[in-house]
Amino acid sequence: MTATLLPLPDDPRIPALIELWPEIERQYANAHPRSFWLGGFEQILRENYPAANSASRKLTARHYAPFQLAAGHDVP
């Protein structure tokens, strides 16, 4: 399956999650905060795009992540 970048849904939790990144990073510093953030973002996408494949949700979450990723933002 090919991953495609999903449009951001009009969901108020998305900007809130992006703004909360510094707090999440501080609070979960010893428990993989990036994975926690990406998982939360993917869950919101799953609720808004139930028919989207996992690779597309992962790609979209990584694309909008407010932190550096080792493989880059556009790698699913």
Structure tokens at 32: 């993989």
Compute the radius of gyration of the chain from its Cα atoms: 12
Please name the residue that has the structure tokens 């799953």. 46
Structure tokens at 33: 């905060």
Q: Mean pLDDT by 10-residue block, N- to C-terminus, for the chain (76 residues)?
A: 91 96 90 93 98 95 90 62
Q: How many CB atoms lie within 10 A of CB 35?
A: 10
Can you tell me the distance from the alpha carbon of 24 to that of 50, in angstroms, rounded to the nearest whole number? 26
Can you tell me the distance from the alpha carbon of 38 to that of 55, in angstroms, rounded to the nearest whole number? 13
Q: What is the pTM of this model?
A: 0.87
Q: Name the residue ranges covered by the structural domains of the chain.
A: 13-25+32-64
